[in-house]
Amino acid sequence: MADISPRAVIFGCAGPELSEAERAFFADADPVGFILFERNCASPEQVRQLCTDLRASVGRKNTPILIDQEGGRVRRLKPPHWRPAPAARMFADLAKRNPAAGEEAVRLNARLMAAELADLGIDVDCTPVLDLPQDDADPIIGDRAYGTEPAMVARLARAVGEGLVAGGVLPIIKHIPGHGRARADSHKELPRVEVSHAELSAHDFRPFRDLCDLPMAMTAHVVFEAIDAAVPATCSRRLIDTVIRGEIGFDGWLISDDLSMKALSGGFADRARAALDAGCDVVLHCSGDLAEMYSVVSGTRRLDPAGMDRLNRARALIAGPTAAFDNLAAETRLAALLDQ
């Protein structure tokens, strides 16, 4: 069994501890990784035990465990046990006033988040957001973005990636190739973007192109009509091949956004199969609903050699020991920077 790749799916779980049904399901399904949400995070001790139990359920100590800990309104770890990390916009505003201070602050903030996550056993953070929100866009991105100017977003997002990796946590850039023009929330319906490929390439794709060397990326459930008017990016072989892998040049581990989102249609097996057939390395299912997970499994397969290689390359970035880090000094410096 050791030579068989895990299944190309990342699953959530229902609560703060695993049920016997979940343990049995995960042992049989053999997902490549797991993702945690606020419902799974009650205290540091409990989260550490849950991470241990999740990895034990599939028999792999190096199983990736993900979380959405962006800061601001998207954070699964909250006070009183965890620091209230600021939203991305706060760093963007600081960077407009003082670019060097903005980069230092966002790197420190990411390093502090990494310290919290690594302490719990979480080794992948679904951040930074590289989307460039437009004035007429749905507010789902909003203050999660590091601004609207591609070069600045790329600089700040790279600092986030560096801070996370320094603390032993892998970043996921999202939502490739860009969610910033979407006039609908893909959690609720399918957004369609109508601008030309040339305009997308010149603006929306630029931060992703600048950070194409980062190890992991999450797709956008958005239709880009100039490239593939039939299906969203997550399920578009044309878009993944020509834009994400080609034009943008991303050769890291490509993860679908959540299969449960209403932007996607059809049954869960069909959604999973479509995303993998399009070129995603792995699909993501977040709800923790066991019946849905059974359906997802029927539409998935084992991680293929290319996907396994990309995952191993990502893991290698955080394989060594992390440098000594003074959390209190970092928090003090971060507060001083944000007060500028």
Which of these is catalytic: 119, 187, 289, 309?
Answer: 187
Q: CB-side exposure of 81: number of CA atoms within 13 Å? A: 16
Q: What was the pLDDT predicted at 3?
A: 64
Q: What is the pTM of this model?
A: 0.97
Give the chain's domains with CATH numbers: 7-318 (3.20.20.300)
Cβ atoms of 122 and 65 closer than 8 Å: yes
Q: What is the pLDDT of residues 140-153, one digit of tens each?
A: 999 999 999 999 99
What are the tokens at 163? 């801070």
Residues with pLDDT less than 50, the chain: 1-2
Q: What was the pLDDT predicted at 340?
A: 87
| Residue 4: count of CB within 10 angstroms of its CB | 9
The beta strand positions in 153-263, using DSSP E, are: 170-176, 192-193, 216-219, 223-224, 253-258
Question: How far are the Cα atoms of 7, 52, 237, 249 from residue 304, in angstroms, in the given order?
Answer: 9, 26, 16, 20
Q: What was the pLDDT predicted at 1?
A: 41
Which of these is catalytic: 30, 131, 210, 257?
Answer: 257
Respond yes or no: is residue 257 known to be catalytic: yes
